[in-house]
Each structure stands twice: as C-alpha cells, then as structure tokens.
Amino acid sequence: CAMRLRLAGAVLLAAAAYYVYLPLPSGVSEPWKLMLLDALFRSFMRSDAAHSLGVCHRVRLLNRVVSWVEVIEARSSPTVKVIDSSLGGVPTRVFQPNGDSRLRRGVIYFHGGGWALGSASGFNPRSDVFIIFLKMAEDLDAVIMSVDYRLAPEAVFPDQYHDAVAASRVFLSAELLQQYSIDPERLCVSGDSAGGNLAAAVAQELSLDDSLQVKFKAQALIYPVLQALDFHTPSYQQNQAVPILYRPYMARFWLQYLGADSSLEPVLLANNHSALDQRAISAATRSKLNWTALLPTERKKNFKPVVEEKGSPGVVGAVPGLMDVRAAPLLAEQEVLGKTPQAYVMTCEFDVLRDDGLMYGRRLRDAGVEVTSDHYEDGFHGCMVFANLPMMSSVGQRSMRNYIRWLDQNL
C-alpha cells in the first residue's frame, strides 16, 4: 500500500511538473515563479467548460476565484489610514498617511487586468497591490486613490474610460484636494497594463480641458496597452508564447473591452483587420504605430512587419473602438500628446506590450514631452507586483523601487 501511494505521488508530482513547466527565454528573471503563476492563470483562461455551457463567463469565474482568495478589506496600518470611498460615483480605495494636515502629493491609480479582471484592493496575480499602495503612501507621504472602474463583460468601452475620466475630474477638484489635504501642484495619474491605457487616455482628455483649474503634473504608465491595430510588433512576435500575457489573450481582452464578437480573434491575430485595403485606416494613422520608424534598432531585432494587402472587410466599421483614441491612446495626434504632462513609461523585454510603451514614449518625446523610459531586460508583464512575498523577485523589487523613486523625484 505504501509503495502504491509513493508511486501515485510520484506520478502526480510528475504530472504537475509537466503542466507547470514552460520553456522560457533565458533572460527572464526567476522563471520558476513565473511558471507557477502562469499555471494557475492558464487553468482558468483555458477552462471553458462552464463558459461553453452558459453557466458562467470565463472572466466572471476567474474574478470570483481571485476575489475569494485575494480581495482585502480596507485595513489601515499604523502609518496609513485606508478607507473605501468614491470619486464621481466610482468606488475608490483611499490610502492616506496619518499625521498632520500638511499638503501631500496625490496619485490616482487604475489597476490592470485587461479591463475585465481585478479590483482596487488587489487580486491574483496582483497579490501585492494592497501592500504596494501602502508602501507608496508611506514612502511618498502621498494620498493614493485606487479606482474600481466597471469591468467587462458587463461593461464595455467606453464605460471603463468614462469611469476613469469621471473619477479623475473629481480627484482634481478643489473640494476633494482640500478634503484630503492634497497639493494641487503635485498630482499624478498612473496605472498598469489596461490601467496604464486608462491613465494615458485620461491624461490626454484632461490636458485638453481648459475649464479645469488644476491639471496633472505627471503621468506614470506601467507596461501600458495602447493600440489594437498591430498584433505583430516585434514584442508581439518575440513574446507571443511568454506568460502571463500571451498574444491570443491580449486579442481576447481587446475584443471583450470593445464589445466585439469573440470570433474576430483570428482576424486580429493575423492583422487582417488592419490590412492595406482597410480604407478607414489612413496613412497618417499607420504612421503613429509604425514601429520600423519608432522603435530603436535593438528592439526591432530581425523582425519584419506583418502587413496584409487584403484583409477582412468591414472590421474597423463594425468595431469602431479599434480607431478610437480614447481606447487606443497611441493613435492621438501630436498636438494632443504635446499637452500631456511629463511621463514615466515602464516596459519589460519579455512582454507583448513592450513596443506599445516604447512607441508611446517616442511619440511623446517627439511632441516635446519630457519622458523617462524605465526598461527591464529581465522583466515580464506584471513583474512589478512580484515585489513582496510569497512571489518576491529581483525584477519585482527593482521595478517597484524605481517607480516610487521616480514619483518621489518628479512629483
């Protein structure tokens, strides 16, 4: 009996190791931690039984599980008061340092998760978000407001965008700044991944609003997603099989966000939606994401553009969000970019979204905006949340430390 148990255990261990193991590029920081996280994520993203039966959407199922595991009640620390509030009717978690009422810096933050996953309080794989916000509030002596915008599939574009703009307008209001003793000259809009998309879109929108008495001093974008017309940039080609954000996942997230038919996923992945015969996409628009001109040589490597002569007709017309600058901030006009505040853009070598961030940084610089590019050669998508136990990694600690340092020096 003992022998059979040992044999069964060995078989199960071997099966688990086979499922978890994934060949990764040699430069990835601490690959086994990433493999373990990816195995968990894959289990839900590829488990379509409940979805196919109509019992529960796969995204809802994943959100329910990670909420059960990770959502943290508003718990204050000895140095930071944590409360749940709202901005413009949008639920928001506030991290406010204890102490006197002197003016402090302020950061409004939009979490990632493909516009479909997560919350302002933290979620798996973002198990450290709550701790990160506490650390930001402590180290920066700043008020941090993390926004719980609506999520897909119940909400689709432009709902998330409208939530982000509404919350940001209230964040910039004289009443709120006075209520939380926030310095109106030291304000930042920030976010990671899909949240970086919302932060960039908010920075553009509010920089154009001359009715606002207060504007953001800075925008800090963490591996942002910024366009959906080219799924064959060098980083999409290089990292299409690198966890946790596989190329098909990103196409799926885009279609959910834009309220489009999921059957268009192969069309997006083949770049058929942006073929040269798509008259709605002008040469001027294509130039805004022309990576052969916007990326440095070391990022282009030996990859070649994938541009189809003829594609699937009518996709851009059926999914207008693909061309909407509110959804794809990389498509903004140069004069709009030039009005946005100084920027911090974090990118990771092993991330399909790497080139979105690099191209955006280049376009901002060309528009006259001061940009700090923070690139991690051993980084992967979502790495900043690997800054604390149990999944603490070197690149996670470095990226979080440098992000907070930039805010400290520029806000």
> Does the residue 11 lie in any domain?
no
Strand, helix or coil for residue 111 = coil
Lowest mean pLDDT among 21-35, 211-225, 263-277: 21-35
Region for residue 227 given its phi and psi (left: phi exceeds 0; alpha: psi -120 to 50; beta: otherwise): beta
pLDDT over 60 (residue 71): no
Q: Give the residue numbers marked as catalytic.
A: 193, 351, 381
pLDDT, position 408: 98
Residue 389 lies in a domain: yes
Residue in this structure with the two tokens 């978890």, named with its chain if needed: 20
Sign of the CA dihedral running 335, 339, 344, 345: negative
**Residue 127 pLDDT greater than 50, yes or no:** no
User: How much of the chain exceeds pLDDT 70, in percent?
Assistant: 82
Q: Which amino acid is at 176?
A: L
Q: What is the pLDDT of residues 268-305, one digit of tens each?
A: 999 999 999 999 999 999 999 999 999 999 999 999 99
Q: Where are the alpha helices (DSSP H) in 57-208?
A: 58-70, 129-140, 159-171, 174-179, 194-207
Q: Which one, of 132, 69, 144, lies nearest residue 104 by Cα? A: 144
> Residue type for 48, please?
D
Between 63 and 303, residue with greater pLDDT: 303
91/156 Cα distance (integer angstroms): 17
Domain of residue 129, residue span: 66-227+334-410
Residue 26 domain flag:
no
Total structural domains in the chain? Answer: 1
Residue 260 is assigned to a structural domain of this protein? no
The DSSP result for 268-326, as a single string, is HHTTGGG-TT-TTS-HHHHHTT-HHHHS-HHHHTT------SS--TTHHHH-GGGG-TT
Q: Which residue reads 């942006």 in tokens?
A: 274
| Within-domain flag for 237 | no
Question: Residue 247: inside a domain, yes or no?
Answer: no
Is residue 90's pLDDT more than 80?
yes
DSSP for residue 123:
B
The mean pLDDT value of the chain amounts to 88
- 263 has pLDDT over 80: yes
Is the pLDDT confidence value at 47 over 90?
A: no
User: Going by C-beta distance under 8 Å and a sequence separation of 6 or more, which residues neighbour residue 46?
Assistant: none
Residue 342: inside a domain = yes
Residue 233 has pLDDT above 60, yes or no: yes
Residue whose C-alpha is closest to residue 337's, from 209, 200, 217, 216: 200
Kindly indicate the confidence band of residue 53, based on its pLDDT and cuts at 50, 70 and 90: low
The domain that holds 339 is classified in CATH as 3.40.50.1820
For residue 164, is pLDDT > 80?
A: yes
